[in-house]
């Protein structure tokens, strides 16, 4: 894990102070509640610190005290499925220097939306795009500094080992099947999926694939052995096939309900594995709460089926933050257009949903309005739950001592007479990087 | 003795908090002339801390130049254990106010040499100029700090074995597992408390009524260590109505009427003004005689009352002439034989050991 390494300073404190900030008069997210407690962070180590030890051992007082006036202090958000943003699509073939520059721009902009860690996602593509793009999308880990903005915790490759009949907007021509692990290496590039150096994790953190294709289910242990999350998605899997995948080590379901068989009472399909029928561990699952992909009630049912596995994702395309209109979308060989109309993205000439253009905080607000869930429950779906899914408990998605000091300050507003959460400030590694 | 009675526990807590704030403000502490505050833990003072924190946040008081000494700490549990008194103080007070960590003193229950820790603690209090105000709470058996029944009223900071009842009562904080409850504690002594220039004790609830009755209406008794307060020149007890259940009606009426009359006369403050403004404390000349008095063990039998009454420095009374106390010297000093002058006791090493030993 890069996080256990001695790290370089995340930020140099201004005017030579000790870099310690105390947040007070705030409600911090702890487990399932908001508790009135102070929080101390250190911008030099980039961590949340044990204030009591700092006081008694090091005789330190905070350099600055931030009075949040009763507002909510949440861990920074973690986005597990982001295809692009602010005009840049991660599934693009570009000169390495240009590509890297575009990623850095996205990181700096993305952090303003409250997302402090994310998995840049590449949709089904030909092999050369993976091989060119993935080296730029790997985890930035200990190298990253606050001013760089949002941090990648590794790439999410959604495809191309997907079911041709559940392709969604993925290009059917590039979809393939795998019989051996070499087929995966061949597709993504060996160094992108396997890492020789344990300090340098491979760029890929999550693979979405259809387990029923080829011998994919048998390959799952090889994927997870590399510290990579296997997620079931874009799949025709029956309940039995999905259960087998879970037994083999799949711990996630990509955008539950979308691009999979609908729940049938005689075969509940992939959704059925949330029922804990076969005493298998229940996987985490992504939910797109944009009001287009899923009916609000469906979201509520999914949440109630397995609250601890519920993860809000945007599946947003690069049109996020751009005005309405038709946008070119290179999808393998063919160039399509996606029509953006408000938060809706529709593939031109069809009625297919082409991802979303929603932000994660909007998903949180939607979920709050639709489900009657509490604010802590909604925030957990973008903080501690994705962190647990990624095996990053204690580092990301929580406000425990020693965790990364990635923070979001939230106001409870009333938009259109309904509850709404608004991002007021974003802190990365103990340094303020955005304020409204 | 002042006894202040309030109908509700909140009002009693507020009274104490406001009293402390008043004292600090009147004292006008500076970095070179800090206000030295003794602090307790436990349920009784919680309300006091709450009000102090509120007033700090409202900008009405600063603790920047306040030096604190805590009464006690468990032995052998990690300092940051949720039940340690370090944690209590951090959670309920220090984390919310601007007390300088360098000014905070709490006994270290994990010190390699516990006895040395206690001796050093007394020395620290002395170096800070003594305690201006010691705030205390009491147990149901009338103990102050961990000076449980039977503790010597001349005791000083030391290691204490806890009474079985106390261990039992504490087990609820340690997963009801008696094995996990600390069996020992470090605590300031009764004498340490009595040496403060002022002692304020908050007593809340019917469970403490019996203890309060013993300490107010009965005599000084080592089985109710708080009763030693009767020997202090400036003690004040603040309690709620429930805590007075065991007191005689006439006692309650008496103290209430005193407070009423004092208020009508605009004479609520009974402390001599020199204590309130905290005159610079005259440098104490440390000689063998005074060392003996501070030792935890009584080297030579002395009448108890004289020792206790000496607790408060006479210099606080401005009316009194500042004639030095008579220190009987020996012929040897006058003769000026250097060898003899240096060797005051036949076996200084042994004497030294006794000084460091722990009293009950
Ligand atoms: Zn998809």
Least trusted range by pLDDT, from A23-27, A289-293, A338-342, B44-48: A338-342
The answer to whether the annotation marks A422 as part of a ligand binding site is no
pLDDT score for B278 = 63
In A313-433, which residue ranges form alpha helices assigned H by DSSP?
A: 360-371, 375-380, 384-389
Q: What is the pLDDT of residue A142?
A: 64
Q: What is the pLDDT of residue A12?
A: 62
pLDDT value, residue B296 = 44
Q: Check if B165 is active-site.
A: no
Between B296 and B172, the higher pLDDT residue = B172
Q: Is the dihedral of CA B42, B43, B44, B46 positive or negative?
A: positive
Q: Are B87 and B81 in contact (CB under 8 A)?
A: yes
Look at B101 and A51 and tell me if their CB atoms are within 8 Å.
no
Q: Is A100 annotated as a binding residue?
A: no
Count of CB pairs separated by less than 8 Å, A with B: 31
Q: Supply the pLDDT for residue B324.
A: 45
Residues A150-176: what's their mean pLDDT? 94
Q: Which site among B67, B90, B96, B108 would you substitute to test the A interface, given the most A Cβ atoms closer than 10 Å to its Cβ?
A: B90
Q: In the predicted model, what is the mean pLDDT of chain A? A: 90
Q: Express as a percent the part of chain B with pLDDT over 70.
A: 74
Query: What ipTM does this complex have?
Result: 0.74
The three-class DSSP label of residue A291 is coil
Inter-chain CB proximity B95 and A55 less than 8 Å: yes
Give the one of A38, A50, A56 whose C-beta lies nearest to B86's C-beta: A56
Question: A56, B90: Cβ pair inside 8 Å?
Answer: yes
pLDDT tens string B157-212:
999 988 888 888 888 889 899 898 999 999 999 999 999 999 999 999 999 999 99
Tell me what pLDDT residue A406 has: 97
**Is residue B330 scored above 80 in pLDDT?**
no
Is B148 one of the annotated active-site residues of the chain?
yes
SS3 of A48, please?
Answer: strand
User: Do the Cβ atoms of B66 and B99 come closer than 8 Å?
Assistant: yes
Mean pLDDT of chain B: 82
Chain B residue numbers touching A53 (CB-CB < 8 A):
80
If one counts every other C-beta atom within 10 angstroms of the C-beta of residue A159, the result is 27
Nearest partner of A298 among A260, A347, A243, judged by Cα: A260
Chain A CB contacts of B79 under 8 Å are 56
Q: Best interface-test mutation with A: which of B79, B101, B111 has the largest number of A CBs within 10 A?
A: B101
Report CA(A53)–ligand 1 centroid distance (Å): 46
Q: Ligand 1 center to residue A259 CA distance, Å?
A: 7
pLDDT tens-place string over residues A31-72: 889 999 999 999 999 999 999 999 999 899 899 999 999 999
CA of A123 to the centre of ligand 1 (A): 7
Cis peptide before A160 (omega within 30 of 0): yes
Label residue B263 by pLDDT band (50, 70, 90).
Answer: confident
Do residue A53 and residue B101 have CB atoms under 8 angstroms apart? no
Specify whether B72 is catalytic. yes
Report yes or no: B79 at the A interface, CB cutoff 8 Å: yes
Q: How confident is the model at residue A199 (pLDDT cuts 50, 70, 90)?
A: confident
Q: What are the pLDDT digits (tens) for A105-150?
A: 999 999 999 999 999 999 999 999 999 999 999 998 666 688 899 9
Kindly give the distance from the C-alpha atom of residue A134 to the centroid of ligand 1, in angstroms, as a whole number: 18
Model pLDDT, residue B345: 46
- Which residue did the predictor score with more confidence, B323 or A241? A241
Per-window interface: B 84-113 vs A, CB < 8 A: 86-87, 90, 94-96, 98, 100-102, 104, 106
Nearest to B80 among A24, A25, A52 (CB): A52
* C-alpha–C-alpha distance, residues A375 and A368, integer Å: 7
Interchain contact, B90 vs A38, CB within 8 Å: no
Compute CA distances B17 → B30, B53, B342, whole Å.
20, 9, 50
Q: What residues 206-225 of chain B have any CB closer than 8 A to a CB of chain A?
A: none
Q: Are A38 and A45 spatial neighbours (Cβ–Cβ below 8 Å)?
A: no
pLDDT tens, position by position, A211-234: 999 999 999 999 999 999 999 999
Catalytic residue among B117, B148, B242, B316: B148
Burial A410-434 (b: 16+ CB within 10 A, else e): bbeeeeeeeebbebbbbbbbbbbbb
Say what the pLDDT of residue A372 is.
87
What does the pLDDT read at residue B266?
73
Tell me the pLDDT band of B267, cut-offs 50, 70 and 90.
Answer: low
Q: Is A169 annotated as a binding residue?
A: yes
- What's the A208 CA to ligand 1 centre distance in angstroms? 9
Partner-chain contact A52 B102, CB within 8 Å: no
Note whether B79 contacts A56, CB cutoff 8 Å: yes
SS3 B250: helix
CA of A247 from ligand 1 middle (Å) equals 23
User: B31-73 pLDDT, tens per residue?
Assistant: 999 999 999 999 999 999 999 999 999 999 999 999 999 999 9
Other beta carbons less than 10 A from residue B326's beta carbon: 6
Contact: A61, B80; criterion CB under 8 Å: no
Residue B328 forms contact with A (CB below 8 Å): no
Query: Is it the case that residue B301 has pLDDT exceeding 90?
Result: no
Distance, in Å, from the CA atom of A317 to the CA atom of A288, rounded to the nearest integer, reads 13
Is the CB of A61 less than 8 angstroms away from the CB of B102?
A: no
Q: How far apart are CA B35 and CA B135, in angstroms?
A: 13
Report which of B160, B212, B219, B231 is spatially closest to residue B1, judged by C-alpha positions: B231
Centre of ligand 1 to C-alpha A236, Å, is 13
Spatial CA neighbour of A399 closest among A73, A33, A58: A73
Mean pLDDT of the region A313-336: 82
Residue that is written with structure tokens 């209430």 in the block: B256
- On whether A212 is known to bind a ligand per the annotation, the reply is no
- pLDDT at B297 exceeding the cut of 80: no
How far is A353 from A169, CA to CA, in rounded Å? Answer: 7
From ligand 1's centre to the CA of A58, what distance in Å?
Answer: 50
Q: How confident is the model at residue A335 (pLDDT cuts 50, 70, 90)?
A: confident
**Which residues in chain A touch residue B87, judged by CB atoms under 8 angstroms apart?**
52
Contacts with B101 from chain A: Cβ below 8 Å: 55-56, 58-61
Cα–Cα nearest to B243, from B199, B201, B213, B200:
B213
Tell if the CB–CB gap between B87 and A52 is shorter than 8 Å: yes
pLDDT confidence bin for B276, thresholds 50/70/90? low
- Biggest distance spanned by C-alpha atoms of chain A: 67
Q: Do B80 and A51 touch (CB under 8 A)?
A: no
Distance CA B68, CA B94 (A): 10
Contacts of B94 in chain A (CB under 8 A): 55
- Is the pLDDT reported for residue B304 higher than 70? no
Find the DSSP H helices in A15-65: 51-58
Q: Please state which of the ranges A379-383, B95-99, B186-190, B279-283 shows the lowest mean pLDDT.
A: B279-283
């Amino acid at each position: 894990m890069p996080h256990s390494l001695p790290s370089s300073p995340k930020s140099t404190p201004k005017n030579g102070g000790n870099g310690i900030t105390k947040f007070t008069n705030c409600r911090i997210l702890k487990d399932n509640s908001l508790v009135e407690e102070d929080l101390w962070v250190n911008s030099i180590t980039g961590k949340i610190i044990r204030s009591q030890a700092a006081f008694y051992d090091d005789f330190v007082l905070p350099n600055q005290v931030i009075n949040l006036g009763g507002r909510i202090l949440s861990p920074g958000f973690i986005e597990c499925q982001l295809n692009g943003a602010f005009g840049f699509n991660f599934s693009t073939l570009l000169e390495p220097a240009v590509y890297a520059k575009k990623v850095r721009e996205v990181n700096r902009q993305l952090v303003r939306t409250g997302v402090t860690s994310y998995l840049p996602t590449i949709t089904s593509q030909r092999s050369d795009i993976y091989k060119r793009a993935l080296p730029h999308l790997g985890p930035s880990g200990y190298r990253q500094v606050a001013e760089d903005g949002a941090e990648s915790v590794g790439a999410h490759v959604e495809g191309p080992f997907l079911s041709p009949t559940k392709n969604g907007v993925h290009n059917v021509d590039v979809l393939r099947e795998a019989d051996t692990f070499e087929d995966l290496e061949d597709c993504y590039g060996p160094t992108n999926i396997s890492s020789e150096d344990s300090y340098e994790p491979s760029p890929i953190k999550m693979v979405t694939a259809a387990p029923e294709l080829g011998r994919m289910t048998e390959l799952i242990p090889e994927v997870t052995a590399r510290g990579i999350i296997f997620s079931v998605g874009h799949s025709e899997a029956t309940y039995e096939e999905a259960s087998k995948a879970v037994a083999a080590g799949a711990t996630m379901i990509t955008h539950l309900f979308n691009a999979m068989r609908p729940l049938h009472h005689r075969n509940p399909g992939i959704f059925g594995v949330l029922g804990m029928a076969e005493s298998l561990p229940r996987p985490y699952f992504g939910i797109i709460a944009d009001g287009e992909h899923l009916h609000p009630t469906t979201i509520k049912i999914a949440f109630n089926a397995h609250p601890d596995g519920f993860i809000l994702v945007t599946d947003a395309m690069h049109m996020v933050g751009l005005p309405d209109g038709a946008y070119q979308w290179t999808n393998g060989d063919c160039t399509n257009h996606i029509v953006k109309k408000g938060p809706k993205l529709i593939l031109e000439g069809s009625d297919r949903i082409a991802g979303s253009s929603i932000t994660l905080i909007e998903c949180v607000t939607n979920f709050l309005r639709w489900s009657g869930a509490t604010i802590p429950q909604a925030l957990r779906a973008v903080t501690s739950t994705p962190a647990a899914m990624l095996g990053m408990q204690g580092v990301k998605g929580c406000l425990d001592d020693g965790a990364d000091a990635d923070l979001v300050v939230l106001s409870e507003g009333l938009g259109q007479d309904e509850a709404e959460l608004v991002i007021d400030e974003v802190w990365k590694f103990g340094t303020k990087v955005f304020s409204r | 003795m002042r006894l202040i009675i309030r109908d509700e526990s909140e009002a009693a807590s507020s009274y104490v908090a406001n009293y402390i704030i008043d004292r600090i403000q009147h004292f006008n502490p500076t970095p070179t002339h800090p206000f030295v505050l003794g602090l307790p833990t436990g349920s009784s003072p919680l309300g006091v801390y709450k009000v102090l924190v509120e007033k700090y946040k409202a900008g009405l008081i600063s603790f920047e130049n306040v030096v604190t000494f805590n009464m006690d700490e468990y032995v052998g549990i990690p300092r940051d254990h949720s039940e340690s008194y370090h944690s209590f103080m951090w959670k309920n007070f220090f984390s919310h106010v601007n007390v300088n960590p360098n000014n905070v003193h709490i006994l270290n229950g994990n010190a390699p040499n516990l006895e040395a820790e206690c001796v050093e603690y007394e020395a620290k209090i002395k170096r800070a100029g003594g305690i201006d105000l010691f705030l205390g709470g009491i147990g149901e058996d009338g103990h102050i700090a961990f000076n449980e029944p039977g503790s010597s009223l001349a005791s000083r900071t030391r290691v204490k074995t806890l009474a079985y009842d106390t261990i039992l009562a504490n087990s609820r904080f340690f997963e009801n597992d008696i094995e996990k409850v600390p069996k020992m504690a470090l605590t300031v002594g009764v004498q340490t408390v009595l040496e403060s220039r002022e002692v304020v004790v908050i007593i809340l609830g019917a469970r403490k009524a019996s203890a309060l009755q013993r300490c107010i209406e009965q005599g000084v008794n080592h089985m109710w260590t708080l009763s030693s307060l009767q020997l202090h020149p400036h003690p004040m007890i603040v309690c709620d109505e429930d805590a007075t259940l065991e007191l005689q009606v006439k006692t309650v009426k008496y103290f209430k009427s005193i407070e009423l009359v004092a208020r009508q006369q605009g004479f609520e403050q009974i402390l001599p003004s020199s204590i309130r403004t905290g005159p610079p404390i005259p440098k104490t000349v440390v000689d063998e005689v005074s060392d003996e008095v501070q030792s935890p063990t009584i080297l030579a039998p002395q009448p108890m009352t004289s020792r206790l009454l000496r607790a408060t420095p006479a210099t606080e009374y401005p009316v009194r002439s500042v004639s030095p106390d008579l220190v009987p010297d020996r012929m040897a000093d006058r003769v000026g034989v250097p060898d003899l002058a240096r060797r005051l006791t036949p076996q200084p090493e042994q004497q030294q050991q006794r000084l460091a030993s722990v009293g009950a």
